[in-house]
Amino acid sequence: MNKLLAVTIFLSIFCFGQSDLHKEVEKPIRQLFLGMKTANPELVKTIFAENAIFQTITKDGIVKTDKVEDFITSISKSSKDDLDERISIEAIHVDGLLASVFTPYSFYYKAKLSHCGANSFQLIKQNGEWKIQYLIDTRRKENCKDQK
């Protein structure tokens, strides 16, 4: 009975710790989409690493690279609730100072579904905070499902 209790306690601690770690990793991602929705470029600036890379895979399979600064500028030109990207987090993997997060999404512009796809984030932990180092996404207009 003591062994069973010890295993249960160990698993409880392990699961609780993983949950907290995942919440830490999710934080900059959630802030990204909050910053977009509230048209707050200052918030969005804080979640990217200094030399972050921002890319999109086009429908033709070409990888297009955008400047993070241009993305942030586009947010500053938006109004509150114009940019609403709804995600679901399907996978989080962490190894030390590196994390990978996969999030299908539906993007709404001015309350109208614009497109959907998936985001793949690579995050790094710097000075005790998780930052987005790399973001690549897909975009399509067909077979879109509303994300919560």
> pLDDT digit string (tens) for 94-103?
999 999 999 9
CATH of the domain at 20: 3.10.450.50
Domain of residue 67 covers 2-138
> Is residue 35 assigned to a domain?
yes
pLDDT at 118 over 60: yes
Residue 145 lies inside a defined structural domain of this protein:
no
For residue 68, pLDDT beyond 80 = yes
The verdict on residue 29 lying in a domain is yes
pLDDT of residue 3: 53
Instruction: Give the pLDDT confidence score for residue 59 in this predicted structure.
Output: 87
What single-letter DSSP state applies at residue 33? H
Q: Which residues pair with 54 in a beta bridge?
A: 66, 135
Confirm whether 97 is domain-assigned: yes
Q: Which helix (H) or strand (E) holds 62?
A: none
Please answer whether residues 70 and 1 qualify as being in contact, where contact means their C-beta atoms are separated by less than 8 angstroms.
no
- 34 pLDDT band, cuts 50/70/90, is very high
Q: Is residue 33 part of a domain?
A: yes
**Residue 55 pLDDT more than 70?**
yes
Total count of domains within the chain: 1
Is residue 20, in this structure, part of any structural domain at all? yes
Give the dihedral sign, CA 92/124/24/57.
Answer: negative
Residue 129 has pLDDT above 60, yes or no: yes
Among candidates 87, 103, 97, 101, which has minimal Cα distance to 129?
97
pLDDT above 70 as % of the chain: 86
Residue type present at position 70: D
